[in-house]
Structure 1
Amino acid sequence: MTVVDINIHHLPEDLFSNEKILNGFLDSAPRGFGEIARVATTDSGKQQLILEKPAGYQNLNYVDGDYSAEAKLAAMDDAGVDYGVMRVPVWQEWLPLDICKEVNDNAHDIVQRSGGRLFSTACVPPWGGKENVYELERCVKELGAVGVQLACHYGQLYLDDEVFEPYLKVIEKLDVPVIVHHTPLPVEWRSVIDYTNLRREYGRIVDQATAVGRELFSGMFDRMPGLRFIHTMLGGNWFANAALLTPHASNKAESLSRLDPTGGEKIRSYLENNIYFDLTHPHSWGKAQVECAIEVSGADHYLFGSSFPVFYGWMSQGVEFVKKDLDITDEQRDLVLHQNAKRLFSLPI
């Protein structure tokens, strides 16, 4: 059974040795808003790029050597993954255009060296200026990027904000899917910082669920019906919220309307046609939860991902989990592991 991993992290292979690129990453993190980026050394002697918010609370760690083409392909061989889709993990919230170009060029180079096994996604600042649009078009039309990556939010702004619409309309015209990666923390982050798992796992779930909800309720897919968003982290457990947050009209005459009962059919159509979910490291979520997600949203709406190399073991554990542990049909399994990715990204596989 063919396996496509749509969440293989990409950073420039010379991130730690190329002063321009390293400083581009370090300087782009907005220190004035509490994002602290620094380089440190691991216990094994490797360099790592650390992101903290606030100071002393680590949210991201990038280790030198984990992002090479060789590391990716070796992990894929070990896990039984045939193809992978690369994307920049989180930092695209801040990266300036000149560094994005370096990131995109290196991704294209890795694709060329992968023997047809790896594909890239465009990393571009999502503002509608012509230089950003030119880089997006270059990635898709010249470098062969199969999709576009965006962050859940940029500063205080989630993707339903009107400032992103000119850029999103170009994506819609290019007819490529958007991978919406979580950011280090949601906009409202202070309630989750004190405990590591709340900060590093639950904070990202909150960010994804908030982003999906805002997109669904904003009406943006009425204006841009061709957009296809693939949200990581199961869309922040969106399958558990779909029925609750889809408007329902009461069967009685109520004295007060406390919820908006309109638009349920439209929101269900957006979930059907515009929103998909990345099943990142599925074994971590649990058998009952993943089976429920597939039952609620449909196997045609979930795509396998590993978030490699956050944990090297997640890729192989995830493949084994989907292949052997889930009580789903072979047809559903093939959709999750292969067919959905092939269809949405138009992969030549």
Structure 2
Amino acid sequence: MSDRIDAWTHIFPPAYFARLQTMASATGPLRRWLELKSLYDLEHRFRLMDDFAGYRQILTPSMPPIEDLADGALAIDLMRLMNDGLADLVLRYPDRFPAFAAGLSLHDVDAAVAEIARVDAMGATGVQLCTHMRGTPLDHPRFQPVFNELAERDMAIWLHPVRGPQPDYPTETKSRYEIWWCFGWPYDSSVAMARLVFSGLFDRHPGLRIITHHMGAMIPYFAGRIAQGWGLEMGTRTPPADADLLPGPLQKPAEDYFRMFFADTALSGAVEATRCGLDYFGADKVLFASDFPFDAEGGSYLVRETIKALDALDLPAATRHKIDVENISALVNRGKFR
């Protein structure tokens, strides 16, 4: 029995990391990732993990998205290389890595659907999807076969934000002070969640399980605006002239769909934000996750501070065990990790 399973940690499998180093972008956009030792050095990663008793990790692909690194046959090759590597790590180190969520490239939807079948056979518990594919939203009709396949196979989705340094104001050319990362990523997640809700995804696939990074982003904090602005009567706002900009008909209030998402605790140790998200999603839908290894200590800070934040909430033991172990176990593998 494990004391804690980290539901969202990132890694570069060895062969994938080696391939990245040969790519032209390795000295540009990739540089900040390639210099983070915990992403690729297993012995270093293990030493950090050993600082936390009973600690194991669900593996997910590291950013940047495969779609941003390549397209065509190269993107498909990178996708398969990533997933082969993740599966191999879980096979070789089951005591440390009990499961993985596969990576997908959505450039070629047919190839992505085929990869879902392949990784399902390899034992993947789900897939990680980014909140858009080079600017194309996930609710675009071209991606429906991907969601259909995942729902048919009962595989979970890890929904990860992705946003570059595009300007925060139309009079500028680039985001300043890394605002695009600190605030832009939660905004990006919230937009993707709303688009999936209003596309009718959960009406088509009510059993689909989607884990949202950073505790559901903006959604818990703006629950009141969701209820008032997207209620059955659409609030009291003047609707836009273009009817296509209005949400389509749903089977229940919008706020009910937002509560269907799962959420992780990757909030960099913010106690009040953790409490807000837990109150919103409920103890059965919150998963312990740190976002390892993206901190100045190579991951230790995020794990330690996330644990401290949950400790500060002084939760009942049964609730805490749900968050630390039971929810991710039930979500990905029918109780295998209990």
TM-score normalized with structure 1 length: 0.79
Kindly state the Cα deviation for residue 243 of structure 1 after the two structures are TM-superposed. 2.7
The verdict on how the C-alpha distance between 1:81 and 1:239 changes in structure 2, with shifts beyond 3 A counting, is farther
1:153 corresponds in structure 2 to 132
Q: 1:216 to 1:132 in 2, by over 3 A?
A: closer
Match of 2:265 among 279, 288, 291: 279
* Counterpart secondary structure, 2:329: helix
The one-character-per-residue Cα deviations of 1:117-149 (angstroms, maximum 9, x if unpaired) are 3121111223664433222211111x2111111
Cα distance in 2 for residues equivalent to 1:263 and 1:169: 18
**1:82 matched residue in structure 2:** 55
- SS in structure 1 of the partner of residue 105 of structure 2: coil
Give CA-to-partner distance per residue, 1:186-245, whole Å, 9 cap, x none. 8xx310744334122111111111111111222122122232111112222210122311
User: Which amino acid letter does the alignment assign opposite residue 65 of structure 1?
Assistant: K
Can you list the C-alpha shifts for 1:272-302, whole angstroms capped at 9, x where unaligned?
A: 43x111221441xx22221122112212222
What CA distance in whole angstroms lies between the structure 2 residues aligned with 1:216 and 1:129?
Answer: 21
Which whole-Å CA distance do the structure 1 matches of 2:284 and 2:208 have between them? Answer: 17
Size of the aligned set, in residue pairs, is 311
Pick the aligned partner of 1:317 from 279, 299, 305: 305
Q: 1:39 to 1:81 in 2, by over 3 A?
A: farther
Match of 2:115 among 126, 129, 135: 135
Question: Counterpart of 1:163 in structure 2: which amino acid?
Answer: R
1:176 correspondence with 2:155: yes
Distance 1:106 1:129, change over 3 A: same
TM-score, normalised to structure 2's length?
0.81
Distance 1:170 1:8, change over 3 A: same
Indicate which of 252, 255, 260 corresponds to 1:268. 255
Could you tell me how far 1:343 is from its partner in structure 2? 1.0
CA-based RMSD: 2.9
- Residue type matched to 1:140 in 2? D
Aligned residue type for 2:62: P
- In the alignment, is residue 300 of structure 1 matched against residue 284 of structure 2? yes
Matched, 1:126 2:106: yes
Q: Say if 1:49 and 1:61, in contact at 8 Å, map to a contact too.
A: yes
Unaligned runs of at least 5 residues, structure 1: 28-36, 41-47, 51-59
Match for 2:312: what amino acid?
D
Give the equivalent residue in structure 1 for 2:8: 7
Choose from 190, 201, 212 the match for 2:167. 190
Q: How far apart are residue 166 of structure 1 and its match?
A: 0.6
- State the match for 1:112 in structure 2: 91
2:186 equivalent to 1:205: yes
Paired position in structure 2 for 1:288? 272
Aligned-partner residue type, residue 53 of structure 2: G
**Identical columns (%):** 22
In 2, distance between residues paired with 1:72 and 1:348? 24
Q: 1:106 to 1:244 in 2, by over 3 A?
A: same
Residue 163 of structure 1: aligned partner = 142
Corresponding residue to 1:331 among 318, 326, 331:
318
Please say if 1:248 is aligned against 2:221.
no
